[in-house]
Structure 1
Amino acid sequence: RSSLQKSNQSNTYKVYSGESSEYMGYQAQANYYGFLTSAQHPNARFQRLLTARTQDDLAEYIPTFQAKRYPYSKRYGPVNKADSILKLFQSSANQPSEQVIVIIDPDNWILKDISPWVKQVAPGHALGEAAWFYGSSAVTSLWKEVCLQNCDWPLDLVGVPYLVHREDLKKIAPWFRKYIMIMKEREETDPSFAKKYEVLFHIQMGWGTEMFGYIFAAAHVGIKHEVVWGIQIRDVSPRPQTPKDEKAFAMIHMGRAWFPRDYEPGKQWWHTEGRAFRNFGAQVWCKCNWTASDIIPWPIPEGTDFQSRHTLYLLHESRMYFGEIPKKTKFRQTGPNGYHSAMG
């Protein structure tokens, strides 16, 4: 095991799935900048898994594997994650050689070296952050409805980041997409299916289906995922209280940013949206806003909380490093109706 741990630290491949839209563009810049500036192992590798008919302009400086669009992704974009991972393994020229693959989301931004977690991965033993639905028996009920194999497997209710051995992910990949499609087809043919889980059991069968798909695929092939806490911290999670607490997190899962209410210059960026989170301060940035790529509040005032500080820092510094993202091109549009538009 010790030799495996040693080799894992230098054989890590970090990937996430995305499209060419403006919404994904600034996330791609910040995500890669975080990787470059967070003291990862020198042999660690990073790649964006792009769903598109061809490489986009950001591929000129962001390492990118491009896969053609799976038809259903026009109706459910998150299936891109499963589809692009499967196509990565199906490509003889692009199959990863690294032992450990770290699957993140576009809005998982790396802050520090993740080797302490990587070295815990072994064949048959993966890691994943505790999902927001951790502890829900409803996910097991859902599994019993759709499972094709290993139906009594105790589910590991994890979300990104997933840290998994290459050979294990190769087994998981085809079933990841398969289980997403099983659930989506059930949703479309039986409206009561999704309603039951969303209304009665309070798990989100909309955007969250891909999370269940990964868990079910891992169960199908019998890959254990150790549930861990604290690899990442969400934008709406409680704030770290000490420098030691801050150093514990390797990633942020960003979404919003706040300034102290008494910071007078910050009032120019105050949002009316997001009042449910006003306990964090005055909201000044949100990825939900179509201006998120253009209006990046700066400078960051003293007293800004941990998550907001890192979110705005990576947004600002990555833009300074990589430059502006071209708009109104064949790759992306802009404005309230074009913010999420991507190349087909």
Structure 2
Amino acid sequence: MHVVFSAECNHLFDWHSVALFHSFARVQQHGNVTRLLACAPHELAKYPKTALEMGPTFVHRNMRDDPLVDEKGYPSYNKPYSVMVWLAANSISEDYILMMDADMIMRNTIDPVSLGAARGRVVSAEYTYLVGTESGFAERFIAKSLIPRLAQVGGFHIFHREDLRKIAPLWLEYTKRVRAFAHQDLETFFHESMHIPADTPKETVAVRKKQSMWHSEMYGYVFAAAEVGVTHRVRRDVMLYPGYEPFMGRGPAILHYGSDYTVETHFYFNKMMHTELRLETCPKFLFGAPETVDWSALRKRDALCIEHLNTMNSAFCGFYRRIGCSQIPAKCSDEGLARMTDMISRSREVMERHALH
């Protein structure tokens, strides 16, 4: 299996990428990993060498601001575009491709076939908020006969290589169409593509409207998949947001840190608080994490948060050491790294308690 993830050449995506590369190596995932890096020529000219060379990388045009699309400022076009041009430019030997978001890390190795992937069948996470698959919204874009094929999925996808080759260009095209409709008639788009209870406060509705625009790429995917004719094996047990309770008590294979969380009352994580974090400048930065834990009383939800923080810090330490930072955090010493590894192991032991298999 080949793991790919879409990123841009900026500080936020750089530290995401450091962590994902680290987690791929840590779990000893069979196969290869490639960062699909959206980077315009003027961006690439000033992009740090240490960031460019942190792991296997395929560089392509940045659809955030490119004449290939009809607008500026929507970077999610890069997701379908990146795999489309990557597949066209490379001879990929692996049968299966796992597409992750940059703000994800791997906890366990992933076997695509055992999870249900096959030619014509994609494995994905359940995303029930894509209500436009059932509201009539989809019929604005695809034939009514294709509606039964729609799935409320997102997060990660495990494709057969040849399925993805067919889906990617349609994914990009449908994303364009959905975005164009949203710009043309935002109110209809919002009410048909997102469920908002009638008693929702006005300020919350305004936030939800902005969020709904980001879902265009996800609808682009499900419409493209329906047209190609693939089915989906929808999984609730593979991916989880740190801060959420694990499905049936089982630890996920993928952690998606797209939401903020608090662990042990005063350790707060929010990735958007660190958009300017530049690891290549050796800032000696690590995330705050609990040092003393009552493992016998620890909830599984909190165990996953502690594992996430220590995995991120271990990745940062490894990067600081690899690029030769003259000063690194004291916790990045051999002893400190051993401590992080122990915290990860203890957290995983908590996850194994009374898990339903």
**Normalised TM-score (structure 1):** 0.75
Could you say if the C-alpha distance between residues 119 and 187 of structure 1 is closer, same or farther in structure 2, counting changes exceeding 3 Å?
Answer: closer
Residues 1:176 and 2:171 aligned together: yes
8 Å Cα contact 1:286/1:292 also seen in 2:
no
* Aligned 1:84-95 pairs, distance under 5 A: 84-91=82-89, 94-95=90-91
The Cα offsets for residues 107-156 of structure 1, whole Å up to 9 and x where unpaired, read as 1210011116556321111211111426x365552211111685344212
> How large is the Cα RMSD of the aligned pairs?
2.8
CA spacing shift, 1:158–1:168, aligned 2, 3 Å: same
1:114 aligns with 2:110: yes
Cα offset, 1:200, TM superposition: 5.6
- Alignment: residue pair count: 286
Name 2:256's counterpart in structure 1.
Answer: 253
Q: 2:59 aligns with which of 66, 75, 94?
A: 66
Q: Report if aligned partners of 1:111, 1:252 keep a CA contact under 8 Å in 2.
A: yes
Larger RCO: 1 or 2 (CA < 8 Å, sep 6+): 1
Q: Secondary structure at the match of 2:122?
A: strand
Matched with 1:220 is 227
Superposed, which structure 2 residues align to 1:1-344 within 5 Å? 12-41=1-30, 44-53=31-40, 56=47, 57=49, 58-70=51-63, 71=66, 72=69, 74-91=72-89, 94-115=90-111, 120-133=116-129, 136=131, 139=134, 141-147=136-142, 151-197=146-192, 204-239=211-246, 245-246=249-250, 248-254=251-257, 255-261=259-265, 282-290=266-274, 293=277, 294=285, 296-298=287-289, 300-303=291-294, 305-323=302-320
- Letter paired with 1:313: N
Q: Which amino acid aligns with 2:84?
A: L
- 1:130–1:229 contact (8 Å) kept in structure 2: yes
Post-superposition offset of 1:171: 0.5
Give the letter aligned to residue 228 of structure 2: V
**Secondary structure class of the residue paired with 1:78:** helix
What letter matches 2:138 in structure 1? W
- Indicate how the Cα distance of structure 1 residues 109 and 318 shifts in structure 2: closer, same or farther if over 3 A, else same: same
Q: Contact 1:101 / 1:166 at 8 angstroms: preserved in 2?
A: yes
Q: Secondary structure at the match of 1:39?
A: coil
* Contact 2:132/2:138, CA 8 A, preserved across alignment: no
Q: Is the 8 A contact 2:118 2:160 kept in 1?
A: yes
Aligned to 1:274: none
Contact 2:132 2:194 in 1 (8 A): no
Tell me the alpha carbon deviations over residues 55-97 of structure 1, each in whole angstroms, 9 at most, x when there is no partner. 5432312111111122247421111101111111222xx2422
Which structure dedicates a bigger proportion of its chain to helix? 2
Inter-CA distance 173–113: structure 2 relative to 1 (3 Å threshold) = same
Structure 1 contact 153–222 (Cα < 8 Å) conserved: no
- CA deviation vs aligned residue, 1:240-273 (integer Å, no higher than 9, x gap): 79xxx34x41111114343313xxxxxxxxxxxx
How far the C-alpha of 1:226 sits from its partner, in A, is 1.3
Whole-angstrom distance in 2 between the partners of 1:96 and 1:196:
41
Question: What is the identity, as a one-letter code, of the residue corresponding to 2:109?
Answer: D
Residue 26 of structure 1: CA displacement? 1.1
Cα 1:162–1:75 change in 2 (3 A) is same
CA distance in 1, matches of 2:194, 2:261: 30
SS in 2 for 1:14: strand
Paired amino acid for 2:14: G
> Once superposed, which parts of structure 1, at least 4 consecutive aligned residues long, lie more than 6 Å away?
none
Q: CA deviation at 1:291?
A: 6.5
Contact 1:128-1:225 at 8 Å conserved across structures: yes
Task: Give the conservation status (yes or no) of the 8 Å contact 2:267–2:290.
Answer: no
CA contact (8 A) 1:101 1:164 kept: yes
Separation in 2 of the partners of 1:140 and 1:154?
14
